[in-house]
Amino acid sequence: MKKKSAYFKAGVDIDNKMAALRAVKKMVKSTVAPGQICGIGSFGGMFASPGRNAALIASTDGVGTKLKVAVMTGRHDTLGEDIVNHCVNDILVHGAKPLFFLDYFAAAKFDAKLFKQVMAGICRACRKSGCALLGGETAEMPGLYPKGEYDLVGTIVGAVERKKIITGRNIRSGDLIIGMPSSGLHTNGFSLARKIIFEQEGLKPDDVLPGVGRKAGEALLAVHRSYLRPVCALMNRVKIKGMAHITGGGFQDNVPRILPDDVDAVFDLSSWTPLPIFRFLQERGKVDREEMYRVFNMGMGMVIVIAPSEFSAAIKILRRSGVRALKIGWIEKGRKTARLIN
């Protein structure tokens, strides 16, 4: 019988982690993308430079307390897709297409089965995005994380031709705002949602949410939608002036990030109906409207600003790509704010 190491007795099993990493190598290999120079296992991942006329766009993010819902339900494969898709959308708003992704997975006690579920989701999303999973960090840190819980963070790097970078600087009064529907909460607002559903209402993950028609766990774990394919189709045909990924901070904090100083984005809330889960959270949690639209995406995960002359073509392209896009607002003279009306 193999002697237990002092490190093992302190709570860290190196052999278990290394065995799991070897086991997922085949899975990771399925994400190899053009430009990748070597596979995982080196101290650093390698990827070919996109060229002197391209800009690299990078972003790092996490999935927040959606992790706690995954732990409650015992389902972890969706979180890998969440983190990749969230990061893809963050660089997509600047017109960048993903090149490679790196993950950070940390727990008090390494669970190989759980780790493989998370990695399966990451690899699935990377394949769909044409994005190489170039490496990452897998850490076991007893005493830092609560027992049975873990953390998941992702970093993505993409590229875009410098002349095609989307910044929002050309947005003008009279431009129109197109909304692209979300699949649910995506990866934001879970601290409030969990408090309302599980603490205040006393529901369990397998309980059906009244008025929603889905189990609580299922509704909350709906995968963060990637807008890569429809937006790429749109960029090939239409001039996009600006895009905002509606994440933490909702409409009020995210949209002004792309606006020039002399305009406002005005959102007509009567132009779409929020998903049932948002109505449930607002009514049961007694959350006022302004806060709902600042905490949650309210059923719109990405907004796109275009000139009025491009509107009809843009809607047709997005709908042919399978997105029920619609006009949800416009740009007018103002002071760099997002305003909600109706």
Q: How many domains does the chain have?
A: 2
Q: Are residues 27 and 119 in the same domain?
A: yes
Instruction: State the Cα angle at 153 between 70 and 16, rounded to 5°.
Output: 75
Residue 110 inside a domain? The answer is yes
Cα–Cα distance measured from residue 188 to residue 211, given in angstroms and rounded to the nearest whole number = 21
Domain limits at 102?
A: 6-164
Q: For the whole prediction, is pTM greater than 0.85?
A: yes
Residue 171 inside a domain? The answer is no
- The 3-state secondary structure of the chain reads CCCCCHHHHCCCCHHHHHHHHHHHHHHHHCCCCCCECCCECECCCCECCCCCCEEEEEEEEECCCHHHHHHHHCCCHHHHHHHHHHHHHHHHCCCCEEEEEEEEEEECCCCHHHHHHHHHHHHHHHHHHCCEEEEEEEEECECCECCCCEEEEEEEEEEEEHHHCCCCCCCCCCCEEEEEECCCCCCCCHHHHHHHHHHHCCCCCCCECCCCCCEHHHHHCCCCCCCHHHHHHHHCCCCCCEEEECCCCHHHHHHHHHCCCCEEEEEEHHHCCCCHHHHHHHHHHCCCHHHHHHHCCCCEEEEEEECHHHHHHHHHHHHHCCCCCEEEEEEEECCCCEEEEC
Q: Are residues 89 and 223 in the same domain?
A: no
Q: Which of 109, 139, 164 is the last residue of a domain?
A: 164
Residue 239 inside a domain? The answer is yes
Measured in degrees and rounded to the nearest 5, phi and psi for residue 128 equal -65, -30
Q: Are residues 17 and 154 in the same domain?
A: yes
Residue 169 inside a domain? The answer is no
Cα–Cα distance measured from residue 212 to residue 235, given in angstroms and rounded to the nearest whole number = 35
How confident is the model at residue 46, as a pLDDT?
74
Residue 310 inside a domain? The answer is yes
Contact call for residues 243 and 302 (beta carbons, < 8 A): yes
Cα–Cα distance measured from residue 155 to residue 56, given in angstroms and rounded to the nearest whole number = 13
Q: Are residues 107 and 226 in the same domain?
A: no
Q: Are residues 238 and 104 in the same domain?
A: no
Q: Are residues 184 and 313 in the same domain?
A: yes
Q: Which of 164, 184, 218 is the last residue of a domain?
A: 164
How many CA atoms does the CB half-sphere of 22 hold within 13 Å? 6
Q: Are residues 70 and 118 in the same domain?
A: yes
How confident is the model at residue 233, as a pLDDT?
97
Q: Which of 106, 135, 164 is the last residue of a domain?
A: 164
- In angstroms, what CA-CA distances link 51 with 48, 87, 99, 168, 333? 9, 22, 13, 24, 39
Contact call for residues 262 and 334 (beta carbons, < 8 A): yes
How confident is the model at residue 11, as a pLDDT?
64
How confident is the model at residue 316, as a pLDDT?
97
Q: Are residues 113 and 251 in the same domain?
A: no
Residue 1 inside a domain? The answer is no
Contact call for residues 62 and 83 (beta carbons, < 8 A): yes
Q: Are residues 242 and 145 in the same domain?
A: no
Cα 236 to the center of its chain, rounded Å: 23
The bridge status of strand 150-161 relative to strand 54-62 is: antiparallel
Cα–Cα distance measured from residue 211 to residue 203, given in angstroms and rounded to the nearest whole number = 14
Residue 192 inside a domain? The answer is yes
Average pLDDT, 10 consecutive residues per value, the chain (342 residues): 60 73 81 79 72 90 95 96 97 95 95 95 97 93 91 95 94 98 97 96 97 97 98 97 95 96 98 97 96 97 98 97 97 97 95
How many other CB atoms are there within 10 angstroms of residue 127's CB atom?
17
Contacts of 171 (CB under 8 A, 6+ apart): 241, 242, 258, 259, 260, 263, 305, 331
The residue to which tokens 């085949």 are assigned: 26
For the domain that residue 272 is a member of, what is the CATH number?
Answer: 3.90.650.10
Which amino acid does the sequence have at 285?
G
Q: Are residues 270 and 324 in the same domain?
A: yes
Cα 3 to the center of its chain, rounded Å: 43
Contact call for residues 278 and 292 (beta carbons, < 8 A): yes
Residue 170 inside a domain? The answer is no
For residues 61, 66, 68, 72, the Cα torsion angle rounded to the nearest 10 degrees is -140
Q: Are residues 160 and 208 in the same domain?
A: no
For the domain that residue 130 is a member of, what is the CATH number?
Answer: 3.30.1330.10
How confident is the model at residue 1, as a pLDDT?
58
The residue to which tokens 């959308």 are assigned: 89
